[in-house]
Amino acid sequence: MPNHPAPLKVGVAGVGVMGRNHARVLSDIRDFDVTTIFDMDDLTAKGVADLYDATPVTTAQAFVDAGLDAAVVSTPNRTHADLSVALLEKGVHVLVEKPIAATVADARRMIDAAKANDRVLMVGQVERFNPAVEAVKRAIADEQVISIQITRVGPFPPRMGEVGVVIDLAVHDIDIIRHLTGSEVAEVQPQLARTRAEREDTALLQFRMDNGVIAHITTNWVTPYKVRTLQVATQGKFVVADLMTRQVTEYFGQQPDGSYQTRAVNSWPNEPLKKELESFAHAIRTGEAPAVTGEDGLRNLEVALRCLGEG
C-alpha cells in the first residue's frame, strides 16, 4: 500500500447554498478532513458542522485561528478579501468562490498575501471543470476559433442581494472564454437592462479578444427556465455544448449542397465541484500553480467591472 499523506484540515466559511455543496464534496475527498464550519448564524453553522463532525464557529477570527491547512471562502463577495488575507497570513491555503473579490484592489491584496506567504490561492470558477467545457476545449484544440457564443439564463434567484447578473453569472462565461481562447479581452461592448431588480438582471455582452476571436454572452434572470449553452465556431467546425446535460456535438464537413456531418463528443460524468476541489488539493500537495489562479480571478473581475462601467 502506498503511503497516503495525512488529510489536510479544511474549513468552510459561509455555508449558504454553495458553501454547503463545498462541505459535502470536501467530506468525500480523502485528501481533506472537514474540521471547521464558519457561519455568522450559529444554528446554520452548527447544523452543517454536525453533518461532518466538525466544529462550528460564528466569527471570522475563530475561523482564522482554527488551525486549518486549507479553507474554502464562500461568504458574501465584499468579505472575501479580508477573510482570505487573514487566512493566507496564517499560512492557510485558500480557495475563494468567484468572483475573487468585490474590487480589483481587494483582489490584488489577496494575490499579494498568497505570494508573500507562499500559499495557494485558487478561485472557484467551477465551470472550468465542467466536463462539457473540457470536451469543447479538446474539440477545438487544433482549430482556428472564429467566435464563441454563450447563453446563461434562468429565473430570478431568491438568494441574490448585492450583485446583478454580470457578477453572479457572466463571470463564469468570461472565464470560459479566456480559457477556450487562451487570450485576454481587448474590447468590451456591454448592453445592460434592469427590469425587476435593483441591479442589472439582463445583459448582452460582446467582446473582442487580443487574438481576434469575437465572443458574445447572453445572460439574464428573466427567463422562466434555465439554459446553459456554449457554441464555438471555428474554420473547420461548429461545436455546441449544453453545460447542464453535458452533451457536446460537433458539426463539420459542410458541403456546397448544405449537407454536413455531426458527431457526439464524449464528456465524462464527473461532478465539476469535485474536480475543482481535487485540483485545489493537487496544487497544495505539489506546489504547482492552481488551475484557476488569483490572477485569473482578477482578470475575470476586471472584465466584469468594465462591463458594468466600474472598471
Identify the pLDDT of residue 191.
98
Identify the pLDDT of residue 267.
78
Identify the pLDDT of residue 266.
81
Complete domains list, the chain, with CATH:
8-119 (3.40.50.720), 128-271 (3.30.360.10)
Neighbouring CB atoms inside 10 A of 235's CB total: 8
> What string of pLDDT tens digits covers the 311 residues of the chain?
557 789 999 999 999 999 999 999 999 999 999 999 999 999 999 999 999 999 999 999 999 999 999 999 999 999 999 999 999 999 999 999 999 999 999 999 999 999 999 999 999 999 999 999 999 999 999 999 999 999 999 999 876 667 899 999 999 999 999 999 999 999 999 999 998 878 899 999 999 999 999 999 999 999 999 999 999 999 999 999 999 999 999 999 999 999 999 999 987 778 999 999 999 999 999 999 999 999 999 999 999 999 999 87
CA angle 142, 185, 143 (to 5 degrees): 10
Distance CA 84, CA 9 (A): 16
Query: Contact, 169 vs 127, CB < 8 A?
Result: no
Sign of CA dihedral 218, 74, 53, 59: negative
**Which position has the grid cell 464558519?**
38
Contacts of 260 (CB under 8 A, 6+ apart): 251, 252, 253, 254
Contacts of 256 (CB under 8 A, 6+ apart): none
Distance CA 94, CA 85 (A): 9
Identify the pLDDT of residue 218.
98
Identify the pLDDT of residue 160.
61
